[in-house]
A = this chain, B = another copy of it.
Amino acid sequence: MTRDEVIRRIRSGEMTGTTSGLCPEYVQANLVIVPAEYAPDVRGLCMRNPVPCPLVEELPAGTAEPRCAPGSDLRTDLPGYRLWKNGELAERRHDIRDLWRDDLVSFLIGCSFTFERALVDAGYPLRHQQLGTTVPMYRTNVPLAPAGRLHGRMVVSMRVFRAQDVEGVRDVTRGYVEGHGEPVHWGDPAKIGIADVAKPDEGDPLPIEPGEVPVFWGCGVTPQLVTVESRLPFVITHEPGSMFITALHHGDSALTHAHA
Protein backbone atom coordinates (compact mmCIF):
# COMPACT_ATOMS: atom_id res chain seq x y z
CA MET A 1 0.00 0.00 0.00
CA THR A 2 1.32 3.46 -0.86
CA ARG A 3 1.73 6.20 1.75
CA ASP A 4 -1.13 8.17 0.14
CA GLU A 5 -3.42 5.17 0.44
CA VAL A 6 -2.44 4.52 4.07
CA ILE A 7 -2.96 8.18 5.02
CA ARG A 8 -6.34 8.18 3.24
CA ARG A 9 -7.46 5.11 5.19
CA ILE A 10 -6.22 6.51 8.51
CA ARG A 11 -7.96 9.83 7.82
CA SER A 12 -11.25 8.13 7.01
CA GLY A 13 -11.09 6.05 10.20
CA GLU A 14 -10.91 2.86 8.16
CA MET A 15 -7.45 2.05 9.52
CA THR A 16 -6.63 2.19 13.24
CA GLY A 17 -3.99 0.76 15.59
CA THR A 18 -0.22 0.58 15.34
CA THR A 19 1.62 1.93 12.31
CA SER A 20 4.63 -0.37 12.92
CA GLY A 21 5.65 -1.92 9.61
CA LEU A 22 3.47 0.41 7.49
CA CYS A 23 5.24 2.37 4.71
CA PRO A 24 8.63 1.22 6.01
CA GLU A 25 10.52 3.54 3.65
CA TYR A 26 9.22 6.63 5.50
CA VAL A 27 10.23 8.27 8.77
CA GLN A 28 7.52 7.91 11.43
CA ALA A 29 6.93 10.44 14.18
CA ASN A 30 5.34 10.97 17.58
CA LEU A 31 3.11 14.02 18.07
CA VAL A 32 2.97 16.53 20.92
CA ILE A 33 0.74 19.62 20.70
CA VAL A 34 0.89 22.35 23.35
CA PRO A 35 -0.30 25.96 23.73
CA ALA A 36 2.31 28.41 22.37
CA GLU A 37 3.38 29.55 25.83
CA TYR A 38 4.77 26.04 26.43
CA ALA A 39 6.48 25.69 23.05
CA PRO A 40 9.91 26.97 24.22
CA ASP A 41 9.83 24.45 27.06
CA VAL A 42 9.01 21.55 24.70
CA ARG A 43 11.72 22.72 22.28
CA GLY A 44 14.20 22.86 25.19
CA LEU A 45 13.14 19.42 26.38
CA CYS A 46 13.87 17.99 22.91
CA MET A 47 17.23 19.79 22.59
CA ARG A 48 18.34 18.60 26.03
CA ASN A 49 17.02 15.04 25.65
CA PRO A 50 17.56 14.16 21.98
CA VAL A 51 17.63 10.40 22.53
CA PRO A 52 14.03 10.00 23.73
CA CYS A 53 12.90 13.26 22.00
CA PRO A 54 14.64 13.69 18.61
CA LEU A 55 12.96 16.73 17.08
CA VAL A 56 11.90 16.15 13.46
CA GLU A 57 9.85 19.33 13.09
CA GLU A 58 8.30 22.15 15.09
CA LEU A 59 5.34 23.73 13.30
CA PRO A 60 4.36 27.41 13.56
CA ALA A 61 1.48 28.12 15.97
CA GLY A 62 -1.90 27.29 14.44
CA THR A 63 -0.42 25.28 11.57
CA ALA A 64 -1.40 21.64 11.12
CA GLU A 65 0.28 20.92 7.76
CA PRO A 66 3.92 19.96 8.37
CA ARG A 67 6.76 20.76 5.98
CA CYS A 68 7.83 17.11 6.26
CA ALA A 69 4.53 15.95 4.72
CA PRO A 70 2.89 18.52 2.42
CA GLY A 71 -0.86 17.94 2.06
CA SER A 72 -1.13 16.13 5.39
CA ASP A 73 -3.18 17.33 8.33
CA LEU A 74 -1.87 16.47 11.80
CA ARG A 75 -5.45 16.78 13.16
CA THR A 76 -6.78 13.85 11.14
CA ASP A 77 -3.86 11.82 9.77
CA LEU A 78 -2.85 9.82 12.86
CA PRO A 79 -4.79 6.70 13.86
CA GLY A 80 -5.44 7.99 17.40
CA TYR A 81 -5.03 10.94 19.73
CA ARG A 82 -5.06 11.59 23.46
CA LEU A 83 -6.13 14.81 25.17
CA TRP A 84 -4.42 15.49 28.52
CA LYS A 85 -5.57 18.10 31.04
CA ASN A 86 -3.51 18.94 34.12
CA GLY A 87 -1.60 15.69 33.80
CA GLU A 88 -4.72 13.50 33.50
CA LEU A 89 -5.85 11.62 30.40
CA ALA A 90 -9.09 13.44 29.59
CA GLU A 91 -10.17 11.89 26.29
CA ARG A 92 -9.21 9.60 23.41
CA ARG A 93 -9.98 10.69 19.83
CA HIS A 94 -9.66 9.72 16.17
CA ASP A 95 -9.88 13.35 15.04
CA ILE A 96 -8.94 16.56 16.84
CA ARG A 97 -10.21 19.20 14.40
CA ASP A 98 -12.82 20.52 16.84
CA LEU A 99 -10.14 20.94 19.55
CA TRP A 100 -7.96 23.06 17.27
CA ARG A 101 -6.89 26.57 18.31
CA ASP A 102 -4.68 29.20 16.67
CA ASP A 103 -2.25 29.13 19.58
CA LEU A 104 -1.48 25.39 19.37
CA VAL A 105 2.09 24.40 18.45
CA SER A 106 2.78 20.89 17.12
CA PHE A 107 6.04 19.02 17.58
CA LEU A 108 6.92 15.91 15.57
CA ILE A 109 9.40 13.69 17.40
CA GLY A 110 11.16 10.72 15.78
CA CYS A 111 10.13 7.11 16.31
CA SER A 112 11.96 3.80 16.46
CA PHE A 113 9.58 2.36 13.85
CA THR A 114 11.81 4.22 11.36
CA PHE A 115 14.67 1.71 11.82
CA GLU A 116 12.56 -1.45 12.05
CA ARG A 117 12.78 -2.25 8.34
CA ALA A 118 16.59 -1.94 8.52
CA LEU A 119 16.67 -4.43 11.41
CA VAL A 120 14.51 -6.94 9.55
CA ASP A 121 16.58 -6.48 6.37
CA ALA A 122 19.76 -7.11 8.41
CA GLY A 123 18.37 -10.45 9.64
CA TYR A 124 17.03 -9.38 13.02
CA PRO A 125 13.30 -10.22 13.02
CA LEU A 126 10.91 -8.26 15.24
CA ARG A 127 8.61 -10.36 17.37
CA HIS A 128 5.94 -7.68 17.82
CA GLN A 129 5.56 -7.51 14.05
CA GLN A 130 5.43 -11.32 13.79
CA LEU A 131 2.72 -11.42 16.47
CA GLY A 132 0.85 -8.40 15.09
CA THR A 133 1.02 -6.59 18.43
CA THR A 134 2.10 -3.10 19.49
CA VAL A 135 5.72 -2.76 20.69
CA PRO A 136 5.82 -2.70 24.53
CA MET A 137 6.72 0.61 26.20
CA TYR A 138 7.80 1.22 29.79
CA ARG A 139 8.27 4.12 32.16
CA THR A 140 11.80 4.05 33.53
CA ASN A 141 13.46 5.71 36.53
CA VAL A 142 15.94 7.54 34.23
CA PRO A 143 15.44 11.29 34.81
CA LEU A 144 15.24 13.68 31.87
CA ALA A 145 17.16 16.94 31.88
CA PRO A 146 14.39 19.38 32.88
CA ALA A 147 13.49 22.29 30.59
CA GLY A 148 11.56 25.22 32.02
CA ARG A 149 8.29 23.92 33.45
CA LEU A 150 8.87 20.43 32.02
CA HIS A 151 10.44 17.50 33.80
CA GLY A 152 9.94 13.74 33.94
CA ARG A 153 11.50 10.38 33.24
CA MET A 154 12.38 8.53 30.06
CA VAL A 155 9.96 6.11 28.41
CA VAL A 156 11.54 3.25 26.45
CA SER A 157 10.35 0.74 23.87
CA MET A 158 11.49 -2.89 24.08
CA ARG A 159 12.43 -5.45 21.45
CA VAL A 160 14.00 -8.86 22.10
CA PHE A 161 16.98 -10.39 20.30
CA ARG A 162 19.34 -13.32 20.67
CA ALA A 163 22.25 -12.39 22.96
CA GLN A 164 24.75 -12.78 20.11
CA ASP A 165 22.79 -10.30 17.97
CA VAL A 166 22.78 -7.36 20.39
CA GLU A 167 25.95 -5.71 19.01
CA GLY A 168 24.70 -6.08 15.44
CA VAL A 169 21.36 -4.57 16.42
CA ARG A 170 23.17 -1.64 18.06
CA ASP A 171 25.21 -1.11 14.89
CA VAL A 172 22.15 -1.09 12.60
CA THR A 173 20.24 1.46 14.67
CA ARG A 174 23.12 3.77 15.66
CA GLY A 175 22.82 6.01 12.61
CA TYR A 176 19.07 6.58 12.97
CA VAL A 177 19.46 9.70 15.12
CA GLU A 178 15.98 10.87 14.08
CA GLY A 179 14.64 7.51 15.36
CA HIS A 180 16.35 7.40 18.81
CA GLY A 181 19.60 5.90 17.46
CA GLU A 182 21.18 2.98 19.27
CA PRO A 183 19.60 1.44 22.40
CA VAL A 184 19.87 3.11 25.82
CA HIS A 185 20.02 -0.21 27.67
CA TRP A 186 20.05 -3.98 27.18
CA GLY A 187 19.83 -6.76 29.71
CA ASP A 188 18.37 -6.48 33.23
CA PRO A 189 15.23 -4.29 33.02
CA ALA A 190 15.44 -3.53 36.77
CA LYS A 191 18.56 -1.45 36.14
CA ILE A 192 16.41 1.25 34.50
CA GLY A 193 13.56 0.85 36.96
CA ILE A 194 11.32 -1.59 35.06
CA ALA A 195 9.86 -3.92 37.67
CA ASP A 196 8.06 -6.38 35.37
CA VAL A 197 8.60 -6.59 31.60
CA ALA A 198 5.41 -8.66 31.34
CA LYS A 199 3.45 -5.54 32.26
CA PRO A 200 4.26 -2.72 29.84
CA ASP A 201 2.80 0.72 30.51
CA GLU A 202 1.82 1.04 26.84
CA GLY A 203 1.59 -1.49 24.02
CA ASP A 204 1.49 -5.27 24.43
CA PRO A 205 3.69 -7.70 26.40
CA LEU A 206 6.35 -9.58 24.42
CA PRO A 207 7.50 -13.08 25.37
CA ILE A 208 11.26 -13.42 26.02
CA GLU A 209 12.62 -16.86 25.08
CA PRO A 210 15.68 -18.54 26.62
CA GLY A 211 18.91 -17.05 25.21
CA GLU A 212 17.21 -13.78 24.34
CA VAL A 213 17.98 -10.34 25.74
CA PRO A 214 15.53 -7.44 26.10
CA VAL A 215 16.85 -4.32 24.34
CA PHE A 216 15.50 -0.86 25.18
CA TRP A 217 15.38 2.29 23.04
CA GLY A 218 14.46 5.84 23.98
CA CYS A 219 10.80 6.35 23.07
CA GLY A 220 8.88 9.36 21.77
CA VAL A 221 6.07 8.58 24.19
CA THR A 222 8.35 10.24 26.76
CA PRO A 223 6.59 13.64 26.40
CA GLN A 224 3.32 11.94 27.43
CA LEU A 225 4.91 11.04 30.78
CA VAL A 226 6.25 14.59 30.95
CA THR A 227 2.69 15.95 30.57
CA VAL A 228 1.72 13.81 33.57
CA GLU A 229 4.73 14.57 35.76
CA SER A 230 4.70 18.30 34.94
CA ARG A 231 0.87 18.53 35.17
CA LEU A 232 0.62 20.50 31.95
CA PRO A 233 -2.81 22.16 31.66
CA PHE A 234 -3.52 21.17 28.02
CA VAL A 235 -1.67 18.75 25.74
CA ILE A 236 -2.67 16.64 22.77
CA THR A 237 -0.54 13.61 21.85
CA HIS A 238 -0.83 10.61 19.59
CA GLU A 239 -1.97 7.21 20.82
CA PRO A 240 1.27 5.26 21.58
CA GLY A 241 2.16 3.02 18.63
CA SER A 242 -0.15 4.98 16.30
CA MET A 243 2.30 7.35 14.66
CA PHE A 244 2.34 10.05 12.03
CA ILE A 245 3.89 8.74 8.81
CA THR A 246 5.95 11.61 7.36
CA ALA A 247 6.96 11.91 3.69
CA LEU A 248 10.66 11.98 4.69
CA HIS A 249 13.12 9.17 4.12
CA HIS A 250 15.88 8.28 6.58
CA GLY A 251 18.89 10.37 5.59
CA ASP A 252 16.87 13.20 4.04
CA SER A 253 18.61 16.55 4.29
CA ALA A 254 15.70 17.99 6.30
CA LEU A 255 16.55 15.46 9.01
CA THR A 256 20.27 16.01 8.73
CA HIS A 257 19.61 19.72 9.13
CA ALA A 258 17.48 19.16 12.24
CA HIS A 259 20.36 17.27 13.81
CA ALA A 260 23.35 19.16 12.44
A interface list, Cβ under 8 A from B:
44, 47-51, 142-143, 145-148, 174, 177, 181-185, 192, 218, 259-260
Contacts and interface: CB of A to CB of B under 8 A. Distances in A.
Contacts of A50: 47-48, 50
Given A47-B259, A146-B182, A147-B182, 12 more contacts: A47-B177, A48-B50, A50-B50, A142-B143, A143-B192, A145-B181, A145-B184, A145-B218, A146-B183, A146-B184, A148-B174, A148-B182
B48 A181 contact: yes
15 contacts: A44-B181, A47-B177, A47-B259, A48-B50, A48-B181, A49-B51, A50-B50, A142-B142, A142-B143, A143-B184, A143-B192, A145-B218, A146-B182, A146-B184, A260-B260
Given A51-B145, A142-B143, A44 B174 contact: yes
A148 to B, nearest CB: 7
Nearest to A259: B47
> Which A-B residue pairs are the 9 nearest by beta carbons?
A51-B145, A145-B184, A48-B51, A260-B260, A142-B143, A48-B181, A50-B50, A48-B50, A146-B184
A13 to B, nearest CB: 37
A193 to B, nearest CB: 10
Given A47-B177, A50-B48, A50-B50, A185 B218 contact: no
A148 B183 CA distance: 10
Contacts of A47: 50, 177, 259
Contacts of A44: 174, 181
A48 B183 CA distance: 11
A143 B181 CA distance: 16
Nearest to A48: B51
A166 to B, nearest CB: 12
A16 B203 CA distance: 56
A142 B141 CA distance: 9
Nearest to A51: B145
